[in-house]
């Protein structure tokens, strides 16, 4: 069992209003690049098998390849997304293709349907170089949260979409794109599974407790109303 299929597969997603859509084309496992310097990834236990910390350390491991799928406890991403913990699907930029609606200044929710969708590469859609017109022509908006970091979101519905770090030309790692797992379509979310947690030391204490030990039996409701409670178990 692995965290992602070994054969080629496709993930799709986009923003809430569907003005921005993306496709992630993941090749077969043998063709996925290894992340230089990363510790090997521990394989998950079999379904129904629970492991203690000592047992986990003895589990089989495999080289860490893309896509990287995991939770991010960093405070910057927590505030940028407005969520207690962020989750990312990280892959080489060349795996991802973007289709976006042209901007319509008098938009009533449909974009400029008279114009065809615009097809973009990841660098065109998510890298802010100060020269691109993508933010003026589509619903993709950029926020430079630091000198080397561009965060992308939909200017119409507000969905947080990507984190792009501009690596130096000397970097052994090709440009990567972090895509929010919450923006993936549900059927795509069923294909993958988080394999790690990063920025653990920056996490909120009670959230780390939930991640480690479970929710402690807090009340559960099937929907947003509080009229019925789901029995624990």
Give me the pLDDT at residue 231, please.
84
Q: Sign (positive/negative) of CA torsion 93, 148, 102, 13?
A: positive
Domain interval for residue 51: 9-204
Specify if 127 maps to a domain. yes
* Total tally of structural domains belonging to the chain: 1
Specify if 228 maps to a domain. no
Specify if 63 maps to a domain. yes
Report which of residues 88 and 147 the model is more confident about: 88
104-139 pLDDT tens trace: 876 655 655 668 999 999 999 999 765 677 888 999
Give me the pLDDT at residue 22, please.
99
Could you tell me if 224 and 218 are in contact, meaning their C-beta atoms sit under 8 angstroms apart?
no
14-36 pLDDT tens trace: 999 999 999 999 999 999 999 99
Specify if 219 maps to a domain. no
pTM to 2 decimal places = 0.89
137-172 pLDDT tens trace: 999 999 999 989 999 999 999 999 999 999 988 888
Give me the pLDDT at residue 191, please.
95
Confidence bin at 1 (pLDDT 50/70/90):
very low
Instruction: Tell me which range, 60-64, 177-181, 219-223, is most confidently predicted by mean pLDDT.
Output: 177-181
Torsion angle, alpha carbons of 158, 163, 169, 172, to 10 = -150
Specify if 142 maps to a domain. yes
Specify if 212 maps to a domain. no
175-212 pLDDT tens trace: 999 999 999 999 999 999 999 999 999 999 999 999 99
Enter the tokens of residue 156: 């119409």
CATH number of the domain bearing residue 56:
2.170.150.70
Could you tell me if 38 and 64 are in contact, meaning their C-beta atoms sit under 8 angstroms apart?
yes
Could you tell me if 202 and 178 are in contact, meaning their C-beta atoms sit under 8 angstroms apart?
no
Give me the pLDDT at residue 67, please.
97
Q: What is the C-alpha to C-alpha distance for residues 111 and 156, in angstroms, rounded to an integer?
A: 9
Specify if 215 maps to a domain. no
Specify if 210 maps to a domain. no
Report which of residues 131 and 90 the model is more confident about: 90
The answer to whether the bond into 175 is cis (omega within 30° of 0) is no
């Amino acid at each position: 069992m692995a965290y992602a299929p070994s054969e080629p597969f496709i993930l799709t997603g986009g923003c809430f209003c569907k003005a921005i859509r993306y496709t992630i084309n993941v090749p077969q496992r043998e063709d996925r690049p290894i992340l230089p310097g990363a510790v090997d990834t521990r394989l998950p236990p079999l379904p129904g098998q629970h492991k203690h910390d000592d047992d986990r350390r003895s589990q089989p491991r495999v080289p860490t390849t893309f896509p990287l799928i995991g939770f991010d406890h960093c405070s910057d991403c927590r505030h940028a997304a407005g969520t207690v913990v962020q989750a990312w699907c990280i892959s080489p930029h060349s795996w991802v293709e973007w289709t976006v609606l042209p901007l319509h200044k008098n938009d009533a929710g449909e974009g400029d349907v008279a114009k065809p969708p615009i097809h973009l590469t990841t660098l065109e859609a998510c890298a802010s170089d100060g020269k691109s017109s993508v933010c003026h022509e589509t619903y993709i908006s950029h926020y430079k949260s630091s000198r080397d970091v561009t965060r992308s979101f939909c200017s119409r519905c507000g969905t947080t979409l990507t984190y792009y770090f501009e690596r130096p030309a000397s970097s052994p790692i090709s440009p990567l794109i972090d895509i929010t797992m919450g923006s993936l379509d549900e059927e795509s979310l069923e294909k993958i599974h988080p394999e790690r947690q990063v920025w653990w030391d920056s996490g909120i204490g009670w959230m780390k407790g939930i991640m480690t030990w479970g929710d402690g039996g807090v009340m559960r409701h099937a929907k947003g109303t509080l009229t019925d409670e789901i029995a624990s178990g």
